[in-house]
Amino acid sequence: MITFYNFAGRIKGVPWNPNVWKIRYALNYKGIAYKTVWLEYPDIELPTVHHPSHYDNSTGTAIAEYLDKTYPSTPRLIPQGTHALQGAFRDAFYLNAEYYEQTRCADMGVPTLEVLRVPAEARDAEWDKVKDAFGYVHGLMKENDDWIMGDTISFADFIVASMVGVEWKNFMSWHGGRWERLMAALDKYSAVPSL
């Protein structure tokens, strides 16, 4: 059985970290049995999966590739022939986020954006940037596509879903409700095993 390490949040047993969510979605989508070990923030680098074969990895794409290779009879996370496209999507999606996080953390002298609060007057401008980033992805998709890859669910969908939190209610209506439909379709893969 896989051991899935997850950050403990303010509410016990409720995951909150986007990097961890995309892997939880992947494990649930593939129907792979796992146990969750809750850790305090400084205890470990996340996300990480530990398998009895002693395979350890803490990068999302590497974990997705490992799960596809190790569990070939389950649905693929990275469809055949789309490895480069999935990588390009990940890089394009995170490029602005990485720059934003690095520069803000350096300016504020904090290790993560989780400790920062956006002032009310800047909130709308920041949400406009987020909307533009999702608009770019929306523009790459066909109007009736359910998933980033069209009619095939993939790890790229889990990247998007992992970023959607409680504060994102307005986000659900963007681009004709596309993101609300994606989240509703992925809801069945968001289960958190009981403690």
Could you tell me which of 100, 96, 131 has the C-alpha nearest to residue 118? 100
* 195 falls within a domain: no
How far is it, in rounded angstroms, from Cα 20 to Cα 59? 10
HSE, side-chain direction, 13 A CA sphere, residue 175: 23
Q: Are 32 and 2 in contact (CB under 8 A)?
A: yes
Alpha helices in 79-119 (DSSP H): 83-108
* 94 falls within a domain: yes
Cα separation of the two ends of the chain = 16
* 77 falls within a domain: no
Kindly tell me if the per-residue pLDDT of 191 is higher than 80: no
Q: What is the DSSP letter of 150?
A: B
HSE, side-chain direction, 13 A CA sphere, residue 155: 30
* Same domain, residue pair 60 and 156: no
* 76 falls within a domain: no
The CATH number of whichever domain residue 136 belongs to comes to 1.20.1050.10
Strand 48-50 relative to strand 34-39, pairing: unpaired
Q: For the chain, how many structural domains are there in total?
A: 2
The CATH number of whichever domain residue 17 belongs to comes to 3.40.30.10
* 115 falls within a domain: yes
Q: Whole-number mean pLDDT of the chain?
A: 76
- Say how many residues make up the chain: 195
pLDDT tens figures, 123-152: 777 778 878 888 888 888 888 888 888 888
* Same domain, residue pair 159 and 89: yes
* 78 falls within a domain: no
* Same domain, residue pair 146 and 101: yes
* 33 falls within a domain: yes
pTM (two decimals): 0.55
- Res 108: pLDDT: 61
Residues with Cβ < 8 Å from 97, sequence gap 6 or more? 133
Q: Are 188 and 55 in contact (CB under 8 A)?
A: no
In the structure encoding, which two tokens stand for residue 131, read together? 């909307």
The whole domain housing 181 covers 83-189
Strand 34-39 relative to strand 2-7, pairing: parallel
* Same domain, residue pair 10 and 39: yes
Residues with Cβ < 8 Å from 164, sequence gap 6 or more? 171, 179, 183
* Same domain, residue pair 53 and 96: no
Burial class (CB in 10 A: 0-12, 13-18, 19+), 21: buried
* Same domain, residue pair 62 and 110: no
* 194 falls within a domain: no
* Same domain, residue pair 139 and 107: yes
pLDDT tier for residue 96 given thresholds of 50, 70 and 90: low
Percent of the chain with pLDDT over 70: 67
At which of 48, 70, 92 does a domain end? 70
Alpha helices in 109-153 (DSSP H): 120-140
At which of 70, 104, 125 does a domain end? 70
